[in-house]
Amino acid sequence: MPKLLIISDPIDKFNINGDTTYLLMLTAKDLGYEIYNCQPKELFLENNKPYASVRTLEINHGTSLIHSTLDWVNVIEANEHVNLQNFDIIMVRNDPPFDMEYYYLTQILEFAEKAGVKVVNPAACLRNFNEKLAILNFPELITPTLVSRDKKVIFDFIAKYGNCVAKPIDMMAGRGVFKISPEDPNQAAILENLTDYYSQSIMVQKFIPEVVLGDKRIFIVNGKIIDYCLYRIPQNGQIRGNLAVGGRGEVHRLVESDYEIAMPVAKWLSAHNISFVGIDVIGKCLTEINITSPTGAQQIFRDTGINVTRILLEGLAKIN
């Protein structure tokens, strides 16, 4: 049996009604994988060899019973000193923030890659392609964008473009996202908070009016654009459609403009051997390229039967 190690947040914290990592584990069960799990803090290097403290998981049902109860998994064995080269595939599924510990994690995983293990997504790409900053590789697809911690530069950008959105570079799930304008009396306070008094860079973008209608999470798996997306719709009066902050999800078929955005991104991802990605689109603008732990797959599977985690694992098996 092929061996799959999934690095994730604690499994007892999974939301089994929406978590993509939950779907991934059930799919791996369907495909006959031996499934192992650890948290990022449990990886380490010893004498230039990568190890982890891992748990062997027994998944009690496959995707046909995805609506099942909380007893979906048992830990059948725990081992404290397992060489990562024993695994065929390592999936990195822990959530941001991207901090120094995440940076060190990617360094450890590169030692596993040198030993022949397939890491998804590649460790260097996880380190080099921040999900906010990666969109800068596609200037023709994005709204006017600034990355800075300089107070004057930020204020000048907002004065130039009017309504803008400011956000931290290293967070997820809509955390710390603010709409601001030159007339906003809270502009200075918001920017001081986001930049930690101009000591940390942030991203500021010209506001995209279509955001009130929602954003689309589009999956690109093994270079293939999945034909259905998760449309995340904000609550009334809000600009964040993320499900984690109260947005509502609907599964929609892609339209022509979605493919026009996704195709050049898919080509770029394939060139970097990045296998599992969720891009975010608002209107006709690319807003994020999530290669760390994209979510939304479970809703698409429930509504359409398209299982992007199965497409991923079957594609990786062909490569190996």
CATH of the domain at 252: 3.30.470.20
Residue 132 catalytic? yes
Domain assignment of residue 40, given as a range: 3-121
Residue 216 catalytic? no
CA atoms within 13 A on the CB side of 51: 11
Q: Is 112 exposed, middle or buried (0-12, 13-18, 19+ CB in 10 A)?
A: buried
Look at residue 133 and tell me if it is in a domain: no
Q: How far apart are CA 210 and CA 239, in angstroms?
A: 9
Residue 192 catalytic? no
Residue 152 catalytic? no
Spot the catalytic one: 94, 232, 258, 307.
232
201 and 104 in a single domain? The answer is no
Look at residue 130 and tell me if it is in a domain: no
Residue 248 catalytic? no
Which mean pLDDT values do the consecutive 10-residue runs of the chain (320 residues) have?
A: 96 90 97 98 97 97 82 93 98 86 96 98 96 96 98 98 94 76 92 95 96 94 98 70 65 98 99 98 96 94 97 88
Residue 290 catalytic? yes
- For tokens 């891009």, the residue is 279
Locate 220 and state its tokens: 């690109």
The pLDDT assigned to 3 comes to 98
User: Full-prediction pTM beyond 0.85?
Assistant: yes
Element containing residue 268 per DSSP (H, E): helix 256-271
233-267 pLDDT, tens digit each:
876 655 554 555 556 789 999 999 999 999 999 99
Closest by CA to 291, choosing from 78, 133, 57, is: 133
Beta bridge partners of 58: 74
Look at residue 26 and tell me if it is in a domain: yes
Residue 175 catalytic? no
The domain spanning residue 88 has which CATH number? 3.40.50.20
Spot the catalytic one: 37, 113, 280, 310.
280
Spot the catalytic one: 55, 206, 240, 310.
240
Q: Structural domain tally of the chain?
A: 3
49 and 155 in a single domain? The answer is no
113 and 20 in a single domain? The answer is yes
3-state secondary structure of 116: coil
Look at residue 35 and tell me if it is in a domain: yes
The pLDDT assigned to 246 comes to 59
Residue 288 catalytic? yes
170 and 218 in a single domain? The answer is no
Spot the catalytic one: 55, 93, 118, 217.
217
Q: Among 155, 174, 207, where does a domain finish?
A: 207
The pLDDT assigned to 48 comes to 95
160 and 62 in a single domain? The answer is no
Spot the catalytic one: 132, 206, 216, 310.
132
